[in-house]
Structure 1
Amino acid sequence: MIIRKEYKFYAAHRNEELADKCRNLHGHRYGVVCHFEVERKGSISTLFGDFDAKVAPLLKTQYDHALLINIEDPLYRTLVDHCERTGETLRLKRFTRPTSVENLAFILFGEITELGFRLHQLEIRETDSSVCVYTREDWVSDNRHFANKDNELLQIEAVS
């Protein structure tokens, strides 16, 4: 059985790899739709509040009103230096890859799974007309892909 829950958060980001408007720092009101796989045990499977008790705090503390930023983006070092110099704290959600909606889906899928839930699908709405639908199969495939890429980088660094 699938239980569907919706959440939202506001965050800024940029994609430093692009040569279009998305290279500029900008924000979104992200919509997150979780499709949880559950098994019925008696008259109910899982209380809706069980999802909210874990997913909502994750989004509120890690993502809401944060800057999603790739640690390889030159802007990241500038922001870290600023915080060290001024003592100001900024909510930075650090990515090890560009902050595309696909990479956001990959990261969120893993974090929600680590909360103890089995996700079937995750939808990330970046704008009113743009939605990334990300499945468990996508997550498994991306884990393999990124593990291979990370291993290739480690091998290159070891040779250098």
Structure 2
Amino acid sequence: MIIQKEYKFYAAHRNETLKDKCSNLHGHRYGVRCFFEVERDGEISTLFGEFDSRMEPWIKEYYDHGMLINVNDPLYESLQEHCRRTGEQLKMKLFNGPTSVENLAWMLFTEVTDMGFRLAQLEIRETDTSVISYTREDWIRDNRLFASLRSPGAATP
């Protein structure tokens, strides 16, 4: 059985690997729809609040009103220097590759799975008209791809 839950967060990012408007620092109100697989073990399989009580604080702590940034982006080094110089603590969610919505989907799928949830799919709405659907099969395929690309010094999401 699938239980769908939706979550939202605001975050800044840029994709420095592109040579278009997305290489500029900008933000989105991301919508994340999780498709949780659950099994019935009685009259009630799962209370919706059980998802929210773990997911909402986690999203707020690690993603909401933060910056998604590639550790290989020259801006990251500048932001680290700013924090050292000023003592300011910026919330940064670190990526080992571009902060594309595809890489965000992989990261979220991995982290939600690591929390003990079983996902069939998740959808990420980056804009009003742009949504990515990311399935367990996509996640498995990406994990294989990233494992094959890993070598000393190789950066993967």
Query: How does the TM-score come out when normalised to structure 2?
Result: 0.96
Q: Mapping of 1:24-103 within 5 angstroms?
A: 24-103=24-103
- Identify the residue that residue 124 of structure 2 maps to in structure 1: 124
Equivalents in 2 of 1:146, 1:48: separation in Å? 33
What SS does structure 1 have at the residue aligned with 2:152?
helix
- Identify the residue that residue 111 of structure 1 maps to in structure 2: 111
- Identify the residue that residue 8 of structure 1 maps to in structure 2: 8
Equivalents in 2 of 1:77, 1:8: separation in Å? 28
Aligned length, in residue pairs = 154
Query: How far off its partner does 1:115 sit?
Result: 0.9
Matched AA of 1:40: R
Equivalents in 1 of 2:132, 2:113: separation in Å? 18
Equivalents in 2 of 1:104, 1:51: separation in Å? 20
Q: Which runs of 5+ in 1 are unaligned?
A: none
Structure 1 residues 155 and 123: CA distance shift in structure 2, 3 A: closer
Q: Which runs of 5+ in 2 are unaligned?
A: none
- Identify the residue that residue 154 of structure 1 maps to in structure 2: 152
Does the alignment pair 1:23 with 2:23? yes
Does the alignment pair 1:137 with 2:137? yes
Query: How far off its partner does 1:14 sit?
Result: 0.1
Equivalents in 1 of 2:116, 2:78: separation in Å? 36
Matched AA of 1:145: L
Aligned Cα root-mean-square deviation (Å): 1.1
Percent identical pairs in the alignment equals 66
Matched AA of 1:34: C
Structure 1 residues 155 and 5: CA distance shift in structure 2, 3 A: closer
Query: How far off its partner does 1:46 sit?
Result: 1.0
What SS does structure 2 have at the residue aligned with 1:154?
coil
